[in-house]
Amino acid sequence: MFGLGPTELIIITVIILLLFGAKRLPDIGKGLGGAIREFRKVKHEISPEEPSDENQSSENASTMEAKVVDKVLEQVPGVKKAVEVKKKVKKVKEFIK
């Protein structure tokens, strides 16, 4: 698997456990799994069976990317809070101007 041996995988696993802790790993896995599931769902809903035009397919790709980004931001713990804080900061900056 990508040229990684068992020793490297164990070291990576230990580092991840130290960074996130054992309690947060299931939440992160659940969020990523949900994001992947939503990505597949959105891809299935948006992508037409046979794209008739290149412009249409590129527009669908950008729309699909935006929806996937939104879904990922909703699913992954911590990222949602960061996005909310960013939106609040943006509102404050607009208010100050």
Is residue 69 a part of any domain in this protein? yes
Is residue 74 a part of any domain in this protein? yes
Annotate 61-73 with b (16+ C-beta within 10 A) or e (fewer). eeebeebbeebbe
State pTM to two decimals: 0.39
Is residue 19 a part of any domain in this protein? no
According to the model, what pLDDT value does residue 75 have?
A: 72
> Tokens 């794209």 appear where?
51
Instruction: Tell me the residue range of the domain where 31 lies.
Output: 24-96
**What is the share, in percent, of the chain residues with pLDDT greater than 90?**
1
According to the model, what pLDDT value does residue 20 have?
A: 84
Number of structural domains the chain divides into: 1
What integer is the mean pLDDT of 32-41? 84
* Band (81; pLDDT cuts 50, 70, 90): confident
According to the model, what pLDDT value does residue 1 have?
A: 47
What is the C-alpha to C-alpha distance for residues 5 and 13, in angstroms, rounded to an integer? 12
What integer is the mean pLDDT of 67-95? 78
Is residue 62 a part of any domain in this protein? yes
Is residue 42 a part of any domain in this protein? yes
Residue from 65, 58, 97 nearest 73 by CA: 65
